[in-house]
Chains A and B, each alone.
Chain A
Amino acid sequence: MSELGNIFNIGLLQNTLRTATPVILAGLGVLMTDHVGIMNIGMDGMMLCGAFFAVLGSCFLGSWMGGLALALLMGLLLGAFFGLFVVKFKSDEFIIGVAFNIFAGGLTIFLLRSIFGVAGAFSGNAEMPIFGLPKLSLPWLDTIPVLGPLLNNNTLLVYVSWVLVLLCWLLIYKTPLGFWLRAAGEHPESLRSAGISPDKMKYIASLLCGLFGGLAGAHLSLGYLTMFTENMSASRGFIAVACVIFGGSNPPKVFLAALLFGLIDALGLRLQSTGVSSNLTSMAPYVVTVIMMVVVVQRGAARKRKQAQLSTASGN
């Protein structure tokens, strides 16, 4: 019983929030491109670059704001780059995505070695400390049991990600721009005949995607651990893509899917403390992602079948 208590406690929920946040942010980026009809599997590379440039900015500009700014700038650049290839040159988005990931892996390790002179990981040193994201704490929140310690003392981007989920939902479903974005993916011809360029919408989505990738990366490297390690994105970008598929590209649903992923990841971490092999627990998020993909697709198919039945029934 005490073992269970060790696993299921407030720390678990705190860990869930921590691990889910980069996935939430990355998921918001991926769903933007998903709405315009581009599946961006290069998100993992975007995150990795964001994580590195956040550390770089934080070290050289001497503040977390510098880190965040550089990560966002890099994200914007990568987003533009992605848009250029996929929209302008009409390249295969999968190939570009794969190339993005390999490019990001090479670039970040190369820069890590040539700028900081270390291999593997960089966690700051005496001359160049890394400034992490600030943590927000409200003393009065702590008086509320469970919710207080959970909602308090998180880094800035955790709260920002919640706001962004809401903003993205508003943008996509309640504004003309969001309508055009969705139309660019679903009915590009009608959008064009309405006088709006679908390509422009795709560019906007790519840029937004890059920005979110930069943010997600910044949270990875400046959030709870202030360090950069090689390939620290650890396929989170792909998990974000899976979350977007579960959530049907709807921001709040994607948010919930990412939280679920965070919970599984956090559970794995907790299980390690009870002696389960870390290799086995590390498998969990990936296996669960596959299972969830199957469940979601099955459910979608069942719904379609039902609709088809209904329409034939009414037709008779």
Chain B
Amino acid sequence: MKAELKALAAIKPKKRMNGEYLLSLVISILAALLVGAGIMLISGHNPIAGYQAMLNGALGNTRAIGDTLAKSATLCLTGLAMAVAAKAGIFNVGGEGQLYLGAIAAALVGGYVTGLPMVLGIALSMLAAMVAGGLYALLPAWLKVKLKVNEVITTIMLNSAAIYFCSFLANGPLKTAEKGIATGTVKIDANYVFPRLIKLSSLTSSIFIAAGVAFVIWYLMKRTTGGYEMKLTGENDRFARYTGIKTDNLALIAMVISGAICGLVGMFEVFGLHKRFLDTVSSEFYFDGMLVAMIMRYDPIGIVLMSLFFGILKIGSMGMEKVGIPSETILIVQSIIIFFMAAESGIMRGIKDRRMRKRAQKAILAVEKEAAQ
């Protein structure tokens, strides 16, 4: 009897440890960097010099470090936006559109509601960005929850729609009358502009707000019942519903938060760098953030750390351009990390299954031996 119990215990899978996941993450990253080195070799560049140029470009001087931090903040916020929705079971691929709408809404408030005290002006613009992004995210979430329309497709479609719509506004009815400006809305009140923290770098004081937002999201996801309910909903929405959680409302709220964060990211770009809405305000920032979130399995702290690494990769890739290596090499490296990490659970499961089978066989043999005696 005892032996049989032992056999059963051997089959029972051991709890998956975080250390194991971290190990596969490190291996994946190293392997992807190796692939990147291979690509550089094939295209006739020295990989060591390439990666050196990358590190130099990302961390070589204070300006570079500032750029890297600013990039990491953007990645972190977009990644958290993805994570909040994904944890509640909605796949928000539409952050790019929400970012654009947030950017233009904030730019309009900052451009037309001038003369307010700085704090009030910025707060109002932030609110506008969050409302615009949040409402735009609410639409596909509502369609998903009420009508069961697949949100992946609708959010992707709404991305393109929003980007074209904002371009239309910035080139048409809302185009600035300023001379010498080909495209863009009116300049925002100079008083509202986020000051740069390091000369010439894109690091502005918005990073403090970003850090605050990240903290709030972490707290929300990890330390509140709402966050726990979201997690339950994302993992098994039927179970969550039986326990009395209003899963539909939760999904809607999560998506609005996600959209609001994206809107804020757009506002930071406008108020920190461009000082007006430009239709080039983002170049697929959200998709980079999505990658970060997916690699870290939507864990908030993991996202913060990984966005630092991805920030180095992203800004460093510009440094690689200086030694003649196309910056897209890094894009390939990043997607390979995803491929490895997405395959990781399957591969690990295979290895574990085999181990488990062996353990069970051993245990069964032991049981048989005992019975024979």
Interface string of B246-260 (1 = CB under 8 A from A): 000000000000000
With known contacts A89-B342, A102-B334, A298-B147, A283–B153 Cβ distance under 8 A: no
Q: Which of B39, B153, B330, B334 is the one whose CB lies under 8 Å from A289? A: B153
Q: A235-B160, A277-B172, A282-B164 are in contact. Are A85 and B339 (CB under 8 A)?
A: yes
Judge whether B156 and A238 touch: CB under 8 Å.
Answer: yes
Q: Can you list 28 contacts pairing A with B, beta carbon distance less than 8 Å?
A: A41-B153, A85-B339, A90-B349, A91-B345, A94-B91, A94-B152, A96-B342, A98-B287, A98-B294, A99-B294, A99-B339, A99-B342, A103-B331, A103-B332, A103-B335, A113-B328, A114-B43, A234-B160, A235-B157, A238-B156, A238-B157, A277-B172, A279-B168, A280-B164, A283-B165, A287-B161, A290-B157, A301-B147
Within 8 A of A (CB), among B58-115: 91, 93
Q: Is the CB of A114 within 8 A of B326?
A: yes
- The answer to whether A110 and B326 touch (CB under 8 A), given A89-B343, A91-B345, is yes
Asked if B150 and A245 make an inter-chain contact with CB atoms under 8 angstroms apart, the answer reads yes
Q: Which of A91, A95, A110, A298 is close to B328, meaning CB atoms less than 8 Å apart? A: A110
B313 to chain A, nearest CB (A): 12
Any A CB within 8 A of the CB of B221: no
Q: Are A289 and B346 in contact (CB under 8 A)?
A: no
Known: A91-B345, A277-B171. 13 other contacts (CB 8 A): A89-B347, A90-B345, A99-B338, A102-B335, A103-B336, A113-B328, A242-B157, A279-B165, A282-B160, A282-B164, A283-B165, A286-B164, A289-B157
Known: A41-B152, A103-B332, A277-B172. A287 touches B326 (CB 8 A): no
Instruction: Name the distance in Å between B341's Cβ and chain A's nearest Cβ.
Output: 9
Whole-angstrom distance between the alpha carbons of A107 and B326 in the complex?
10
Contact at B153–A91, with CB atoms within 8 Å? no
Complex Cα distance, B139 from A294, in Å, reads 12
Q: Does A130 contact B (CB under 8 A)?
A: no
Query: A102 touching B331 by the CB < 8 A rule?
Result: yes
- Closest Cβ neighbor of A242 among chain B residues: B153
Which B residues are CB-close (under 8 A) to A110? 39, 326, 328-329, 331-332
Which residues 158-183 of B have a CB within 8 angstroms of A?
158-161, 164-165, 167-168, 171-172
Number of B positions contacting A (CB below 8 A): 45
In the complex, the answer to whether B160 meets A85 with C-beta atoms within 8 Å is no
Please indicate the chain A residues that have their CB under 8 angstroms from the CB of B338 in the complex: 95, 98-99, 102
Contacts of B152 in A (CB 8 A): 39, 41, 94
Give the nearest-CB partner of A234 in chain B.
B160
**Residue B148 lies at the interface, judged by CB distance under 8 Å to chain A:** yes
Q: Is the CB of B290 within 8 A of A98?
A: yes
Instruction: Identify which of B39, B147, B153, B157 gathers the most chain A CB atoms within 10 Å of its CB.
Output: B157
Cβ–Cβ contact A92 & B342, under 8 A:
yes
Q: Say whether A294 contacts B153, CB under 8 Å.
A: no
Chain A proximity of B186: nearest CB distance (Å): 19
| Chain A 13-34 interface mask (CB, 8 Å, partner B; 1/0) | 0000000000000000000000
Instruction: Enumerate chain B residues within 8 angstroms of A113, measured Cβ to Cβ.
Output: 326, 328
- Nearest A residue to B91, CB-CB: A94
Contact B343–A91 (Cβ < 8 Å): yes
CA distance A85 to B338 in the complex (A): 11
Tell me, yes or no, whether B154 is within 8 Å of chain A by CB.
yes
Among A88, A95, A239, chain B packs the most CB atoms within 10 A around the CB of A95
Contact with A along B345-356 (1 / 0, CB 8 A): 111010000000
Check if B26 is an interface residue, CB within 8 A of chain A.
no
Beta-carbon contact of B160 and A283 below 8 Å: yes
Write the B201-213 contact mask toward A (1 if CB under 8 angstroms, else 0).
0000000000000
On chain A, the residues within 8 Å of B328 by CB distance are: 105-107, 109-110, 113
Determine the residue in chain A with the shortest Cβ distance to B171. Answer: A279
* A109→B159 CA distance, assembly (Å): 22
Please give the distance in Å from B32's CB to the nearest CB on chain A.
Answer: 11
A241 surroundings in chain B (CB, below 8 A): 153
User: Is A10 among interface residues, defined by CB-CB distance under 8 A?
Assistant: no
Q: Which residues of A contact B329 (CB under 8 A)?
A: 106, 110
Residue numbers in A under 8 Å from B172 (CB-CB): 277, 279
Q: Which residues of A contact B154 (CB under 8 A)?
A: 290, 293
Query: Would you list which residues of chain A between 99 and 135 have a CB under 8 Å from chain B?
Result: 99-100, 102-103, 105-107, 109-110, 113-114
